[in-house]
Structure 1
Amino acid sequence: MPSRQSLNCALLARLYLENNMGMNNCIIKIAAPVLILASATTMNAGPVGRWLKTSHDFGAFDEDMGNMTTEFRLLNEGDAPLVILSANASCGCTAPSYNREPINPGDTAVMTVTYNPFARPGKFDKKIKVRTNDASAPNTVLAIKGVVIGSANTLRAHFPVDAGKLKLRNSMLNFGEIAKGRTKTSFLDGYNHSADTVRPVITGLPGYIDVNIAPAEVPPGQQFTLTFFCNTAKAPDLWGLNSAKAFIKADADASQGQPLEFITVLNEDFSGLTAKQLERAPRISVSTSSVDLGSVEKGSRPTAEIIVQNYGREPLVLRRVSSSDSSVTVKTGSTKIKAGKQAVIKITVDTDKVSDTRGLINSKLSIIANDPQRPVSGVRIVGEIIEK
């Protein structure tokens, strides 16, 4: 509220002008400064706070340096005591500290703001909301920012994969199950552990995976995010479990980098089928769920046959018949089986390629088909290898 003295001053000046409108310009010129003085006095009535600065940049610093502190100064330009009512930081890593005592007119108070960089590598930007009893501007936002150069221990915990100048959260991205025709995303966080700005590049991506790197240019000590998009429409011949590889480097000329592996499980999308289509859908029947090759000699190539039958009303399509075991090869007579018909799958095991040091054959054959009720069928292949 304006003081009694300032109100009286303003009133006297107004009356003076009203009663002397006919007087010469000299008198009006004398009255004008009185009005200005009265107005200025009224404007500064009550507590009026002015922050000498509202932001601070710590720049880049090592995490091992510990807590970083700066000061913000608040000047009371009013004619009544100014009080800081509250100060709240945007996260627990930032701590404001100040004196709760009133700030007399003309005096200055100090607010200390401390940032804790422990286990927080990379760029930060924090806010502190301050509330005072200044009626004209009760709320002020103070800001601190900087870049934390992570310590060795922090980087090992948060970015354990070493890719030269880059540190990565991991090196394998698992998209999980994806219905054909749809797109799914996966994310990978990285960190620039060098003193230079880097421009990460990825080579060797399969055609159905795209990537966005943000930011494209990564300053020293800052983090970046790789967003991978798996577009199954670009992979018409891929079904079931698939693995692909690519390579990431800090920039195009870097000699050191890191392989990346992508795992996807591509399934047929049956969600759009009508009740009538489901009724007429193909139905798969596999002659066995386990093939026992018995005892076979080292160096031999034992074979076995599996019968697949379609007892549905529409053609059964074998999307993929495969084994992740390199010792097993598969040959399918027909991949499209009419209603009521059957096909033969022939498997061959190269005993010289069996990796089990105990001489045991234990592999799995996966049969992916367009049967909505049973899209994936598995057949276990077992046996024992004996020396000649």
Structure 2
Amino acid sequence: MSNRTRPVILTLLALVAAARLAAAAGAAPKVVIPAPVWNAGHVARGERLATDFVIRNEGDAVLELLEVKPACGCTVASFDAKIAPGGEGKVHAELDTTGFLGAIAKGITVLTNDPANPRLQLTIQAEVESRMRATPGYARYIYVQGHGEAPIGQTVWATDFPDLEIREVVSPYPFLTTSFREAAADERSPDTTGRQWRVITTLQPDAAIGALTRPVVIRTNHPREPEFEIPVSGFVRPLFAATPATVDFGSVALDQEKRFGVALVNFGTDPVEIQAVESSVAGITATAEEVAPGHRFALRLVLTPALAKGAVNGVIRVRTTSTRQPVFEIPVTGTVL
């Protein structure tokens, strides 16, 4: 045994002996964290945050940090696994802010041998700000499928990099086209004298029906924030929509007529008229009543005793004056007992 290792081994033996004596006497550790929350304030996106959380042992037995588990985005670089009675240790934590924007709070769970506090929480807070700016900063569409192109423009610049250059704008949807160029004089923001860019996102008439939830990604020559996102939100509506979309009357016995209602909406800007309502199934009749001129209608379906027994699979066909969609169909299904 070398002279260097002997003191270390003796110290460890002394700690073990002290812990055993303390346990025999009913002693226990007592964990105290003076500041379990650290707020870094306003930070630039991409900055790496680092802090030391102080852990104190105010008990009369050795405090053990059994496990330290960071949340997504946090890294625990090191921690003191054992803290003697009356001593203090540290949990060193780091957070890469590249993937975050806005107010964040990331937790770190600490498991200890303190019987009164076996599980503790540390928190890193920050307000992450982008070095990139865009006006208006979002693209929101409320669009009816088949209408003309719908462009939305953004003016983009960097707060700390006057020689900004946009290299690529990536669309999340095949029906949302993008283009970019340097901003004209009347498109520039007065907040900076550096280079500014104009990004145009255009929703095409063949846009898929449904919600828009994914952002446009702008790739630049910015040395610290090469990618910047502009949120895209809204909804692409069909020209006509029925509620319910399918008339499912279930299983019925038709000893008498049964009636069902369907609300039909025209989301287009041009009003339409309903010229006729037809049923492809013998024994089902349908009529239409205008609720809001040119845009909202109430359809009345009647199942008559003449409807043949068995499975029913047909459509209600609505003929309109719309040049874009002159016929709209509503499926009808069910079983006649």
Q: Same fold (TM over 0.5)?
A: no
Q: Which has the higher strand share?
A: 2
Using the size of structure 2 for normalisation, the TM-score is 0.43
Largest Rg, 1 or 2: 1
* Greater RCO, CA 8 A, separation 6+: 2
Q: Which has the higher helix share?
A: 1
Using the size of structure 1 for normalisation, the TM-score is 0.38
